[in-house]
Amino acid sequence: TSGKTLRVAVIPGDGIGQEVMPEGIACLKAAAKRYDIDIQLDEKFQDWATCDRYVKEGSMLPENWKETLQQYDSIYFGAVGDPARVPDHISLWGSLIQFRREFDQYISLRPCRLMPGIKCPLADKKVGDIDFWVVRENTEGEYSSIGGKMFPGTDREFVVQDTIMTRHGVDRVLKYAFDLAQKRPRKKLTSATKSNGISISMPYWDERVKEMHQQYPDVEVDKYHIDILTAFFVLRPEAFDVVVGSNLFGDILSDLGPACTGSIGVAPSGNINPEGRFPSLFEPVHGSAPDIAGKGIANPIGAIWAGQMMLMHYGYKEAADKMMEAIEVALEKGGPNVITPDLGGKGDCAGLGGHIAKLIETL
Ligand code: NAI
Ligand code: MG
């Protein structure tokens, strides 16, 4: 071990967040035990980021949330939302979006990886064919609040919303993506652009990619306009290793990529502040799934894989690799009594979670 304690705030949130997170925790504990990782999983945040709390107290989080969470290395997050009781923009903006913004989690990271036992929505793909990462810029770009509306309700009415690309903001996401590509066997980076149509900001993005590439001569770089790039995600996903995009392009790609590999219940995501000035957040991609909440049949793999990403991020590679192996073996060989209904099985959340935790201990 590194001798350092990894301090994690666990925030399960709403709906199936409460069901999948205990499984994620059990798997992290199994990995920590086997690999002697000093990890502290603080579970005192049970009602944080819940609509229960909002209904009772009028806020998703206590006032001192930032000072409190800032003392942790990481946030392990379930899901938020209960649209029958609280509008989604209130629950989401009152919790998850606050974390992303205030903790400058400027990288959104998602694996796109075809797992065993999952029916790929793309024809004739097998395990190993699809295995890449989408790196999204998560703080600026197209999602800016610079702009306005004038002459509303008249025929002169117009709206303007400007894209912001700072050298600081572009370079830091590119650096993260190049670093990631450099650590992978293929060492390949694909940049999403649209410099043919968006003629000021996107050529600037391309220029920064070219400049950053000089520091990573061993990484192979290509770029595609976003329109054909989305087509290639579907037509030849084998071509990708690390794909980097601006906030808008990355948003689209980070939904499309995992969608090309199957179930929503399996996909994880990281919201990362790479320098560790603030905690990074790891979560399953799915939401609170009110339609199945309380039934105990949610797939816990999204949450478990998010925990795996967390260990990888903090440098516990051996443990993370074992967790990944356990997830894959469970999907491949767990059988219909273990696999959850979203993947065609008859198993349940606790059964699949316990099965994976056991594999982490014994494989
Ligand atoms: P959702 O991801 O919660 O559910 C979409 C569909 O996928 C549902 O049919 C659900 O049953 C299924 N599903 C999701 N996760 C599953 C799992 N682990 N195992 C088996 N099936 C699973 O998205 P939806 O329905 O659009 O949103 C529900 C609530 O979640 C809303 O309040 C929304 O705002 C919130 N949400 C929160 C997110 C977050 O916390 N990061 C992300 C997406 C939505
Ligand atoms: Mg999205």
Domain positions in the chain are 1-105+263-363, 131-260
User: What is the structure's pLDDT at 23?
Assistant: 98
C-alpha–C-alpha distance, residues 31 and 353, integer Å? 13
Decide if 1-105+263-363 and 131-260 have a common fold. Answer: yes
Q: Please, which pLDDT band fits residue 3 given cuts at 50, 70 and 90?
A: low
- Domain 1-105+263-363 annotated CATH 3.40.50.410: no
Q: Rounded CA gap, 362 and 156, in Å? A: 69
The ligand 1 atom nearest the CA atom of 291: 11
Q: To test the ligand 1 pocket, which listed residue (80, 96, 286) has its Cβ within 8 A of the most ligand atoms?
A: 286
Ligand nearest to the CA of 92: 1
* 292 ligand 1 Cβ < 6 A: yes
What's the mean per-residue pLDDT of the chain?
96
Instruction: Report pLDDT for 302.
Output: 97
Nearest-angstrom CA–CA distance, 49 and 91: 7
303 Cβ closer than 6 Å to some ligand 1 atom: no
What is the Cβ-side half-sphere exposure of residue 264, based on CA atoms within 13 angstroms? Answer: 9
* Banded model confidence at residue 10, pLDDT cuts 50, 70, 90: very high
Kindly report the protein residue whose alpha carbon is nearest to atom 1 of ligand 1.
Answer: 287
3-state secondary structure (DSSP) of residue 78? strand
**pLDDT mean over 246-270:** 93
Q: How many residues does the chain have?
A: 363
Cα(115)–Cα(106) distance, integer angstroms: 27
Q: Tell me the pLDDT tens digit for each residue of 288-303.
A: 999 999 999 999 999 9
- Ligand 1: distance of its center to the CA of 279 in Å? 24
Q: Are strands 280-284 and 74-79 parallel, antiparallel or unpaired?
A: parallel
In this structure, how many other beta carbons lie within 10 angstroms of the beta carbon of residue 51?
A: 25
Which residue has the CA at smallest separation from atom 26 of ligand 1? 287
Q: Given the structure tokens 């909440």, which residue do they identify?
A: 293
For 261-287, write each residue's pLDDT tens digit. 988 899 999 999 999 999 999 999 999
Joined together, the tokens standing for residue 100 give 């992303």
Tell me which fold the domain 131-260 belongs to: Isopropylmalate Dehydrogenase (3.40.718)
- d(C-alpha 164, C-alpha 89), whole Å: 24
Verify whether ligand 1 is closer than 6 Å to residue 83 (CB atom). Answer: yes
Q: Give the pLDDT confidence score for residue 146 in this predicted structure.
A: 94
At residue 56 the predicted structure's pLDDT band, cuts being 50, 70 and 90, is: very high
Among protein residues, the one whose CA lies closest to atom 27 of ligand 1: 287
Q: Would you state the structure tokens that stand for residue 30, as one six-digit string?
A: 């199994």
CA of 31 relative to ligand 2 center, distance in Å: 30
Say yes or no to pLDDT of 213 above 60: yes
Whose CA is closest to atom 44 on ligand 1?
A: 287
Share of the chain above pLDDT 90, in %: 97
Interval 113-117 mean pLDDT: 93
Residue with CA closest to ligand 1 atom 36: 287
Question: What share of the chain in percent tops pLDDT 70?
Answer: 99
Burial bucket for residue 58 (CB in 10 Å: 0-12, 13-18, 19+) = exposed
For tokens 């999907």, the residue is 331
Measured distance CA(246)–CA(106) in Å, rounded: 11
Sheet with strand 39-42: strands edge to edge: 39-42, 6-13, 74-79, 280-284, 268-272, 107-113, 131-137, 242-245, 188-193, 220-225
Strands 107-113, 268-272: pairing is antiparallel
Residue 245: pLDDT over 50: yes
Specify the pTM.
0.96
Q: Is the pLDDT of residue 1 over 80?
A: no
Contact present, 81 and 4 (Cβ < 8 Å): no
| Whether pLDDT at 2 is above 70 | no
* Mean predicted confidence (pLDDT) in 194-200: 97
Mean of the pLDDT values across residues 211-219?
98
